[in-house]
Amino acid sequence: MASSRHFRVITTFIRPTTSSLRVQRSLVAHNARRFLSTTPALRDSRNFAPQTTIFRDVEPLRDFRRAALLNNRTIGLVPTMGALHEGHLSLVRQAAAENTDVFVTIYVNPTQFGLHEDLASYPKTWETDLRMLHTLDRELASVEGAGRVTAVFAPTTKTMYPTLPPDSSIPGVGSFIEMRPLGQLLEGASRPVFFRGVATVCMKLFNICQPERVYFGQKDIQQTVVIRRLVKDFHLPIDVKIVPTSREPDGLALSSRNVYLGTRRRTVGIVLNQALRKAEAQYKARNRTRGDILWPASDHADQTKMAQDALEPHERARFEVDYLSLADPETMEELDEVDPARGAILSGAVKMLPVEEGGPSEDLGVGGGQIPVMAIT
């Protein structure tokens, strides 16, 4: 059986207090208002014509992109692994507010999955994904000034890895992009090939689609740091946009892997989000040192863990805290103290262990509570 996996919770960017970030935020707010504002900006969508083309190969997509460039159109790229949910759609919405064309890529990239991770069982919902994008595109068609979802790129692995088959082993035969030590910290410590795979596939997708802007979710915060580094170190002419995390009412972040959780692990899984909120509150109360910021988070996680461990096997959802991190926003190196002018990234990971004993009619999630999980709240 594949090894148990992390239930990751990566929540908070303690923002610097510089005016440039405030400007960035207000621009996003402006765009959101432009996009979300009601009647005056609504277009008549009765004549809605779907504009989305599905591409499997590189050359036709390149031709499409070239034509867009000649027509002064701008491309916002949203890379995904499919199994779409409202979090993905929020990325598409922001991309549509800032570009004439949105390209969505749907590709489950093998090189970012370690050999014992959940590549084989990763949820695939192609038909539903297309329906969701179609519905969203219809909505976009009715908004004055909004871009449209004009391309979905869903390549085969042979297209993405044209020379050698993808290799997920640590020595890794093939052509890769690596960032050391950034890609080896935190998530990279427990998933040693993860960021190598992400950086490599994103470089490929950026080269194929040549977007002006790319959109990534803050939920995967270390991934956003890796992408910014990719763009900086390889001089890519791309603007990286980070979109806030979409959450369930109780704070659980939407995530494709949530289907694995089942009721019991889902309920307990919000522990880390709760813990990190406590740490964030410490920062907001003007605490700046690592100990002061992180202790309530560790304490909350410890208390919850003890309470679960004390329950009977048919009642409990056991977990282990992998890390609680207070890190520099560009290097992800751990900080002893936060400089408010620079900000920090507060993040954490919890390993949700398999359910030991299911109840008679209990919803244990896809895979009966045993599937390796990489869900994010």
Ligand X SMILES: CC(C)(CO)[C@@H](O)C(=O)[O-]
Just list the catalytic residues: 88
Nearer to ligand BAL, 98 or 220 (CB): 220
Nearer to ligand X, 201 or 373 (CB): 201
Nearer to ligand ATP, 145 or 244 (CB): 244
Hey, what long-range contacts does 277-285 have (CB within 8 A, 24 or more apart)? 277/11, 277/12, 277/251, 279/12, 279/324, 279/326, 279/346, 280/11, 280/12, 280/14, 280/346, 283/14, 283/338, 283/344, 283/346
82 binds ligand X (CB under 6 A): no
14 binds ligand BAL (CB under 6 A): no
Residue 130 CB, nearest approach to ligand BAL (Å): 20
Number of residues interacting with ligand X: please give it, by CB under 6 A. 10
Residue 115: CB atoms within 10 A of its CB come to 12
Nearer to ligand ATP, 4 or 90 (CB): 90
Nearer to ligand BAL, 304 or 347 (CB): 347
112 binds ligand BAL (CB under 6 A): yes
216 binds ligand ATP (CB under 6 A): yes
Q: Is the peptide bond before 192 cis (omega within 30 degrees of 0)?
A: no
Binding mask 204-223 for ligand BAL (x = CB under 6 A): ----------------x---
Rounded-to-integer distance, Cα 324 and Cα 335, Å: 12
Give, as ranges, the residues between 195 and 214 that touch ligand X (CB under 6 A): 198, 201-202
Phi-psi region of 330 (alpha: psi -120 to 50; beta: other; left: phi over 0): alpha
List the one residue out of 214, 256, 249 whose CA is nearest residue 128. 256
Distances (CA, A) of 318 to 4, 266, 273: 12, 12, 16
335 binds ligand X (CB under 6 A): no
Rounded-to-integer distance, Cα 212 and Cα 76, Å: 6
Do 178 and 213 contact (CB within 8 A), yes or no?
no
Sign of CA dihedral 156, 66, 87, 317: positive
Residue from the set 4, 11, 80, 200 that interacts with ligand ATP by CB under 6 A: 80
Binding mask 210-249 for ligand X (x = CB under 6 A): ----------x--x--------------------------
Rounded-to-integer distance, Cα 61 and Cα 66, Å: 9
114 binds ligand X (CB under 6 A): no
User: Which of ligand ATP, ligand X, ligand BAL, none is residue 245 near (CB under 5 to 8 Å by kind)?
Assistant: ligand ATP
Residue 330 CB, nearest approach to ligand BAL (Å): 20
List the one residue out of 309, 302, 323 whose CA is nearest residue 356. 309
Residue 32 CB, nearest approach to ligand X (Å): 22
Using DSSP, state whether 162 is helix, strand or coil.
coil
Residue 58 burial (C-beta neighbours within 10 Å; 0-12, 13-18, 19+): middle
Nearer to ligand ATP, 112 or 304 (CB): 112
91 binds ligand BAL (CB under 6 A): no
User: Which residues of this chain interact with ligand ATP, rule CB under 6 A?
Assistant: 80-81, 87-88, 90-91, 216-217, 219-220, 243, 245-246, 253-257, 374-376
User: Which residues of this chain interact with ligand BAL, rule CB under 6 A?
Assistant: 112, 220, 374
